[in-house]
Structure 1
Amino acid sequence: MTDHNHSSKPGWADKKSFRNAFLGVLIVSCVLAALAGFIPAFQNPKPHFEQEHWGVFFAVWGFAAFMFIVLAGQHLRKLVGRKEDYYEERE
């Protein structure tokens, strides 16, 4: 294997101040996007389902779908995953 020279100086994205600011901007933008769902101009005037009248329906639905994919992927990995030394044990 080759050794890579990594400098001990942290990069701009490793600084705690940047991470806190980034997380703050992300949370504020998510809250603003969720609140925009309650503004009538951003709602579908003729929703197909009754649940679409809820202000944050699509945010909740998207989060639930994302969580299902992540949790299903964890269990699927147990079913189809290989051991770390899978290719080495043949030799």
Structure 2
Amino acid sequence: MPEERVEINVLYFAAASTATGLSQELVSVTSGLRLADLGDVLVARHPKATALRKILDGSKWSVDAEMVDDPDAVELKGGEEVAVICPVSGG
């Protein structure tokens, strides 16, 4: 039986938005994909965004406006809004 594909809405902020050239996009993923593995999907979708892997590795995630402490514990079912929250510095 083929794996079920679902769509999620990914929001990009700050450096992630600059790297991808997008503020958001619909991404098709396998139902049950761990949030921790979403970075691999996004890097594969944006091969010209050479800094994206480093940006994602240093970022936090939120799902449906809730910050995620353990991306390994979150499975994406479809319909979620996932935000890439880049670290910010301020003075």
TM-score, with structure 1 as normaliser: 0.22
Structure number with the higher strand fraction is: 2
Larger RCO, structures 1/2 (Cα 8 Å, 6+ apart)? 2
Structure number with the higher helix fraction is: 1
If you compute each CA radius of gyration, which structure gives the higher value, 1 or 2? 1
TM-score, with structure 2 as normaliser: 0.22
